[in-house]
């Protein structure tokens, strides 16, 4: 029917991985963003805490889409261990080197960026934290556990490790970088540009260390530090 287009059944998992990016990210955009929260829970719309509940909703939806569904696919359809997708500790010595170096180097830059108007306008995502810090610990824990673990498993685990076998390391790094960059659309320009650099660097570190956990800890520390600097150093 489509002359010249070859469908290879043995590559079906790679097709699924590639298509998962537009499908899952679209579902997240139209069902996971805070503006849709009041539509699902109208009774909470007038609650003063509605903003932070909406962010919890966002993190949980992201976790279900970008972590739970890919894990189910890996375990029950592909029938592969999660360690194949970077879920193990990998090369601890190599990963630890970056885990120590990057946060120390970028912490001053994060502090400086936290003074920028566009960054302060974006973070923390739950604006109530600027005046009411009683939810800060729970919020940051959910941010790290539900959002950042899902982020790193999907982009640097499921896509990167999953596509490397078929397309090679460089192409897999670029594919996951393009996909993760798209999620940043609407955020400060510097963050979008930075996401491209970070996507490539984190992809290299994840592949070299054979683990997503080092880049997860680095990524999460950057996000949490940004919030802390903005909240406590106005």
Boundaries of every domain in the chain: 13-232
Cut 0.75: pTM above it = yes
Omega of the bond leading into 80 within 30 degrees of 0 (cis): no
Distance CA 199, CA 186 (A): 17
Q: What is the pLDDT of residue 46?
A: 76
Q: What is the pLDDT of residue 119?
A: 95
Q: What is the pLDDT of residue 1?
A: 57
Task: Write out the two tokens for 130.
Answer: 């600027």
Q: What is the pLDDT of residue 43?
A: 72
User: Quick one: which of 213, 187, 2, 231 has its CA closest to 90?
Assistant: 213
Task: Give tens-digit pLDDT for 184-222.
Answer: 988 999 999 999 999 999 999 999 999 999 999 999 999
Q: What is the pLDDT of residue 32?
A: 93
Question: Cα-flanking dihedrals φ and ψ of residue 87, to 5°?
Answer: -85, -5
Q: Which residues of the chain have pLDDT under 50?
A: none
CA-CA distances (angstroms) from residue 54 to 18, 28, 42, 128, 214? 29, 13, 11, 12, 29
Q: What is the pLDDT of residue 161?
A: 98
Q: What is the pLDDT of residue 121?
A: 94
């Amino acid at each position: 029917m489509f002359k010249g287009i070859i469908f290879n059944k043995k590559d079906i998992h790679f097709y699924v991985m590639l298509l998962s990016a537009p499908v899952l990210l679209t579902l997240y955009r139209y069902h996971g963003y805070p503006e849709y929260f009041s539509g699902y829970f109208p009774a909470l719309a007038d609650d003063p805490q509605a903003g932070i509940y909406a962010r919890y909703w966002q993190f949980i939806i992201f976790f279900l889409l970008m972590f739970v569904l890919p894990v189910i696919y890996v375990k029950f359809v592909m029938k592969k261990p999660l360690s194949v997708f970077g879920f193990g500790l990998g090369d601890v010595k190599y990963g630890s080197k970056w885990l120590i170096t990057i946060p120390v180097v970028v912490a001053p830059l994060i502090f400086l960026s936290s003074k920028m108007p566009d960054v302060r306008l974006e973070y923390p995502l739950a604006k109530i934290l600027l005046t009411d810090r009683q939810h800060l610990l729970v919020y940051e824990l959910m941010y790290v556990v539900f959002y950042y673990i899902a982020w790193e498993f999907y982009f640097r685990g499921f896509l990167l490790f999953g596509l490397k076998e078929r397309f090679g390391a460089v192409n897999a790094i670029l594919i996951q970088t393009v996909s993760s960059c798209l999620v940043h659309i609407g955020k400060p320009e510097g963050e979008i540009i930075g996401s491209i650099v970070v996507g490539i660097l984190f992809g290299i570190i994840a592949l070299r260390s054979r683990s997503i956990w080092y880049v997860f800890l680095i990524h999460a520390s950057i996000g949490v530090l940004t919030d802390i600097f903005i909240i406590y150093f106005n």
